Structure 1
């Protein structure tokens, strides 16, 4: 049976975390108001159609070990073998080195790292000495809790690795972190890196959908909620104030209209620094943590162009050490006779330095790195080009962040208030989605009726 009294919950933000929270709440019979400032749900997990194909806005693929996304897809009826694509091989990268040229890098697994020809025998020996520390972290690791690595939150991972293996730091770690996250050298700690490597195999499987790519998941969730009478979806709406006494009261701007909503609980599924602006009455400890969370930009560029080019370079990582300060990675596809498509992601520092600049200015500057890799396209004729801006893309996890997160998570629960988003765990689609499920469970856990605990899978009380 469903909960005897229908709980009303406001979910702020309809990215993958907010969608996950709304799904869990609806499973358990709660009424949901899902508020999203954009014109559609999905956040950085959306895809958009550009020049005959679906292009990512952020996330490229799903990690095969994150079963919650498979379960979610099955619940939506979209997880069908003939509709899936394996992207494991697409994650194999090649690095452009100033001396050795193009170097293959199959994955970020310890085994592949130790086989990398860029590393000297001495560096490989030094890195191998870290394996016992990694094994120790594996023993205490919780893949759903970044704070299980708090003991290692001492310094920047780049600085630490630079002392052990300069070539690993500059030609494997830095370009890989730039590609996946837009991270600069001080944006990620030893704790996060060791937790990441202990949590799941980067050499494992990656997958997506043939139609719409990763965006199929959030699109299907959005379609589901639009048809669900128990979930009101407010697009193009902005929460400007939230208070909590006996009830949660939220003030929402919808265009020129102001609307006030009353509910039993609220889940904030937006970047952490936005929460204090919406609810400044939170206690100082929580406000200080939320304000301290930083984010990096991670724009994506697409170019359709005509040029004289016989052979296409492979997908390449571009190390900052060798002077590539704008583009972190690039890909080329042949689209026809002398027509090509190029895509890539931009480095965090470049995104920050060009904040406020026009789309054309950013695309022009990024193209310089492309032309440096392949001089034959320096005078290419553009057919079309596109910049996907992501100014607040991925949470920084600098030295000290994991310990601050641990303190935040150890604070007593606030009745009727929960938090979700990549900063609560990690920035993969599956981890962000899980944070939403967890936030919903926290809200539901404080509102179980006398008949027993809510069954998470079936959404019934027993």
Structure 2
């Protein structure tokens, strides 16, 4: 008889952990749990990994269908890229933003404080008022993080109230509103200041990185390490004394029931209650009220590159009804367009996206060309098009409305942190790939502590 003590790693290897959802939150949790020695299986409803972090390759162009920007402030993502052996797949990328006013693009790069002093985008009075936003952002920087927003209740203030108290109408029109429309795809009247603080501290005036292979490089790279079951819909997750029961369909449509030591649920917030019937009521209330933006965007592959150097142009409502976002993908990141060619993507905010969402692609494309023509930024664009792609993203980004931080705090307090079921998602912080990834890693750490304290017998698929 072998009486040698079992090592922590060998004990963990006998424990199955299941992860629901192969977006970046689920993949990050799965990767870290597997690193810790657990036997991990990921169940994914769709035919590919990545969720909103995906890339389509079309006629030599790479179109990122969801997330697009990776600031250097994404330190957690940088670490995960290194640990997954993907460092060689990333390079520095574009870092110049443009803000449109009166038909002129005003550009800002990594030296944004100097750029703001010299820009014609804002009046001298607004530049002085902008110092207030800079001071408030600096004061809150250590408490507004990608992991948890609940330590910064001041960020629950509405954009309208903050503007009235600290800024002015010009800053609202040419900074707050376009940031809301382009980062959240929602009007600032519906949002809290959370996204503005995070954008100011982590995205504006910083460098960026990306992969020539497209945003899908990270989920694809993580997936190579993992056991992922595609075309699998999870029906319910139930916790018992020493295990978790997961019911799901298989690719043929048949229903199966399996057990595991623990389970991570990494799906959009409003979907959680449908598969976890014992979700605590306060967290359920937060997730049920959570609203996501809708993003509809059209990409045009062009035969030649325009002279514009910005990677992204913010188009305020003052310049176009409802506001727009324009991404010059060939400036944003390498590998998006063949040499000498261009890739330009038009993004609509939620209201316009919803009104167009179900129309045929040709009608949506015609509307995009009309809106681009109205801006007058790219002369002769229609004659240069050789590829067109329409991308739909619903749900897109979770919206932080005034009061959402307090609701999140109540929800988090209701969770049992010794439970064998844990949540991961971008709704814990600013809606971004890095927030989702950070949540997945934090969940993996929490479950490791739980399973060390509450060992379970081995359960197999």
TM-score interval, normalised by the smaller of the two chains: 0.7 to 0.9
* Alpha-carbon shift at residue 46 of structure 1 (Å): 1.8
Deviation at 1:241, TM superposition (A): 2.0
Using the size of structure 2 for normalisation, the TM-score is 0.85
The structure-2 alpha-carbon separation of the partners of 1:165 and 1:70, relative to structure 1 and needing over 3 Å to count, comes to same
Structure 1 residues without counterparts, runs of 5 or longer: 226-231, 452-462
SS at match of 1:447: helix
- Select 2:11's aligned residue among 4, 13, 22: 4
The aligned residue for residue 245 of structure 1 is: 240
Indicate if the aligned counterparts of 2:146 and 2:434 stay in contact, CA closer than 8 A: no
The alpha-carbon deviation at position 273 of structure 1 amounts to 0.2
Which of these residues, 27, 31, 48, is aligned with residue 19 of structure 1? 27
Q: Pairwise mapping of residues 434-453 of structure 1 onto structure 2 (< 5 A)?
A: 434-448=438-452
Q: CA deviation at 1:265?
A: 1.7
State the aligned residue count. Answer: 435
Tell me the alpha carbon deviations over residues 379-419 of structure 1, each in whole angstroms, 9 at most, x when there is no partner.
64754311111111111011111111122222242511111
1:400 is the counterpart of 2:403: yes
Unpaired segments of 5 or more residues in structure 2?
A: 1-6, 332-336, 456-461
SS in 1 for 2:344: strand
Which residue matches 1:46? 54
Per-residue deviation, 1:21? 0.3
- Contact in 2 for aligned 1:268/1:418 (Cα 8 Å): yes
Classify the secondary structure of the residue corresponding to 1:148: coil
1:280 is aligned, of 277, 281, 287, to 277
For the residue of structure 1 that corresponds to 2:150, the secondary structure is: helix
Distance 2:308 2:245 in 1: 55
Q: CA RMSD in A?
A: 3.0
Give 2:170's aligned residue: 167
Displacement of 1:282:
2.0
What do the CA deviations read for 1:211-251 (whole angstroms, capped 9, x no partner)?
x12221111111221xxxxxx31111111222223332222
| Equivalent residue number for residue 30 of structure 1 | 38
1:423 Cα deviation after fit: 0.5
Quick check: 1:8–1:32 contact (8 Å CA) kept in 2?
Answer: yes
Report SS of the residue matched to 2:451. coil
Shift of 1:192: 4.1
Residue 371 of structure 1 corresponds to 373
- Superposition deviation, residue 140 in structure 1: 4.7
2:301 matched to 1:293? no
TM-score in terms of structure 1 length: 0.85
CA distance in 2, matches of 1:76, 1:383: 36
Q: Contact 1:96–1:103 (CA<8 Å) still a contact in 2?
A: yes
Q: Which deviates more, 274-283 or 355-364?
A: 355-364
C-alpha distance 263-186 of structure 1, shift in aligned 2 (>3 A):
farther
